[in-house]
Homo-oligomer: A and B are copies of this chain.
């Protein structure tokens, strides 16, 4: 395969015996619009494949002032799976619209974040997705304000940039519903964090849980407060159980807490779901790995990422907040008096 020199559009045009203009029109699918002779089209297309012609996108970018590229800023720490899923979703959606994703990880460093954004702008990306791994309220960097941008898993304090978020309130209702459907009405405790930083998911979920329970004539028995990690979940739930109360059910704010909760329950000789039911949030792989498999309200990261790109590349310049539903991944961690857990 001789790869001597890059083939250019005029090479193709020359071989086909037409001008570069004509070749350009044909190769960009504007032959009809320009009403170009079919024979000419054939010749040009043939020349293009014969020469193995590929357009130089650098040149096209300069000329059209568009790059078919979207920048994605994430703050992921330690390359977690969540950010990764958002990127996957964004990537798929971008591709279906002939775009490609440029990634930049700020590692939580605000200054670096600014640099990354600037560099992307220098590269003339068609838009920027600004993503946070944990749902939060943020102050959008000034540089982004006048740009085409969409917030992913976060909202701007001044609500001036469109945003895509999970519907945590509905998610909370779903978590409660999973319990109610199992016939569980009381002794339901929530294991989770006090919101810190700009985190905003917790309170919404809690409200959803409370409202759903209330509508069923029930309520949250208590809140077991702790951080986000397996260890903290284990510690908090252990302490709670040491207190002597045996809960009917625990709703944990994420799957890691659920894992810690499983450990604590096992230590106290309590079985899931026979003695205690557990419902969680995240829908991560971990939920599937636990035994019994954990029922968890899914954080639809991939869908969030995809939607963000759709919004970014779409025609409408929405400024609103899009909330995406959180489906329930049913496991076997909820005792069911009324019906078997659905797969």
Contact = CB atoms under 8 A, between A and B. Distances in A.
Nearest to A146: B3
Nearest to A288: B230
A230 B85 contact: no
Interface residues of A, number: 53
Interface in A73-102: 76, 78-81, 83-85, 87-89, 91-92, 95, 100-102
A contact patch SS: helix
B54 A58 contact: no
A65 B118 CA distance: 22
A86 to B, nearest CB: 8
A106 to B, nearest CB: 11
Contact of A100 (B1, B56, B104, B259): B104
A291 B62 CA distance: 56
Contacts of A286: 286, 289
Contacts of A84: 76, 79-81, 83-84, 87
B102 A88 contact: no
Contacts of A91: 103-105
A8 to B, nearest CB: 12
Contacts of A274: none
Contacts of A124: 56-58
From A1, A79, A118, A302, name the one whose CB has the most chain B CB atoms within 10 angstroms. A79
Nearest to A119: B100
Interface string A142-153: 000010000000
Interface of A: 1, 3, 54-59, 61-62, 65, 67, 69, 76, 78-81, 83-85, 87-89, 91-92, 95, 100-105, 118-124, 146, 230, 234, 256, 259, 263, 266, 286, 288-289, 291, 301-302
25 contacts: A54-B121, A55-B122, A56-B62, A56-B122, A58-B58, A58-B123, A78-B88, A79-B85, A79-B87, A79-B301, A79-B302, A80-B84, A84-B84, A88-B105, A91-B103, A91-B105, A100-B103, A100-B104, A100-B119, A100-B120, A100-B123, A256-B289, A259-B289, A263-B291, A286-B286
